[in-house]
Structure 1
Amino acid sequence: MNKIAVFSSGGDAPGMNACIRAIVRSAIYNGLEVYGIRRGYSGMIKGEIFKMESSSVSNIIQRGGTILKSARCKEFTTKEGRQQAYDNLKKFGIDGLVAIGGDGTFTGANIFYEEFGIPTIGAPGTIDNDLYGTDYTIGYDTAINTAINAIDKIRDTADSHERVFFVEVMGRDSGYIAIPCAVGGGAEIVMIPETKTTISKVVETLRTGWSRSKTSFIVIVAEGDEEGTAVEIAAKVQKEIPQMDARVTILGHVQRGGAPSAADRMLASQLGIACVEGLLQGQACVMAGIVNSQLVYTPFIDTISKVKAINPTMSRMIDILSV
């Protein structure tokens, strides 16, 4: 292996730049030529490929987002699109790929390897922390700290006006952001896709709290909860408790931005190096991750298909601490 390329795909996450930096410099350290691909699979198809040097990644470790940009790409789902991507990689003599992203990114990389044999190693870059094969994903720590910082401010106004705030955080399929936000933000209720929390349960919890002279409440809602969005849930609860003074805050994409935390910079750097070294060791179609403080390589097929379950102890903590 002489030449590798790195790209980011799917949703951006704080720490992706730190990972790109580690990949580029690790490749150079190991005597490899390294290329960047802009805009993920779309850039691979369009030939947006350029050589990177050590200076290409100077002063980016502290920056959020990704200098390589990211984009969705329907063309890569077709055989013709993947053929064009392969042809472009061969023009540059690229022998291996490092993909920073999530399950959609890894699904594409797995198919690409089966068809054309270019080995790819993935770095888990997603704020959702829902990828099987790693305890933490790049961007997760920063995202929950950003969310908790906002929730702390919401708590101040909720207490001042004696209100119930329904705060929606990201998590279409997972409560990995919602759970630590609820524990760390002192929320009374959390609603996540993995467990069913009914409207009647929310109403009961609020009424019980009022009976104990509680005057303000925080309800954390993962965007993918089965009862609906925070707006929909607040409206349902309002019907049951018309006198409730409620407000809704949707944190949205603010959770994806900002300078990565120290933990995310460390994780991204460690996994970036692991991706390059994995390619040199002959690994292919695996994701580099950290499990119980140990580096592991998990096959893409497992990362894509296996569910990373929420620890039920975490939900129980909220019940205990909200008394």
Structure 2
Amino acid sequence: MSTAMLLSATTRQVGRTQLFRTAVRRSYATEAAPKKPSNLPLYFMGAGVAGLGGYFYLNSTGKSVITQEKSPLDPENFKDFKLKKIVPYNHNTSEFIFELPNNEASLLPVASCLVVKSSDPEALKDEKGKPIIRPYTPISPPEKTGELTLLVKKYDNGNASKHIHGLKEGDTLAIKGPIPKFPYKVNEFEEVALIGGGSGITPLYQIVTHALSNASNRTKFTLLFSNVTEADILLKSELEALKKKYPTKFDVVYILDKPPAGWTGPTGYISKEVLRQHVAPANLNEKVKVFVCGPPGQVAAVAGKKAGMKQGELGGILKELGYTEDQVYKF
């Protein structure tokens, strides 16, 4: 049966189909925002499709494709995944590409993350002997087949990041997920500001690449990305490519603590003036959303401290500028 015939059969069965969603348990992550409908992935189990043992889903471009029955990831249990390739990115960051079995896709909902720990139960423990578990947001798209890519910055005091950087191709890492964060829906907002620092770029990158790849997207995104030096800017070439491809829908402003000679962009900390200049005003109400992810000190200064795994009260510069808790989400 052709794909067109399958799609036709599926359409006739819509009245009898069941929306299939996988329930996942939250742990080691920020408390999810109130649940809203999400458009990736949408699974429809139809008579013709079920006979093939697969599902239709609408990908980020709105095209229907046949894919595997479920994600190879497990939200309840850690599974070992083999490190396929390491791609150095800069002086302290590399891409770690893990192999997904049977050339499957991760099907991670946007936005969500994973949690990782050592495959060796005797390695990567804290001072109490408990496994160290840390969250990471993949930079590979949910529909990417056969691979899952983590962009990991090595920190001097980061035990998990040092462990991952110590892995060799062929080694494994224990991964659990997805861990849902914010259920992003295309065109839910007119303006979205993404405020990030350092490796906090990854969940922001996940959202913006997902949204911009949808042909129906009308939301304007502005990224304010703070780093120490120009060499520390992660995903810069990818961000510049997005800016070139979507000039009316995406803009990026880099802020550096230690700028090079001739730097014309903002410097120092993300200030009230920078936010006022580049972020859509709070009086747009539900039409504007601000996502924040970065070092704890930066998040606190911009949007107030998080309360453990919960959002915490809104504070910082965004509160001073009149934004409300409904308008801000802290990863």
Whether the TM-score (by the shorter chain) exceeds 0.5 is no
**TM-score (norm: length of structure 1):** 0.29
Q: Which has the higher helix share?
A: 1
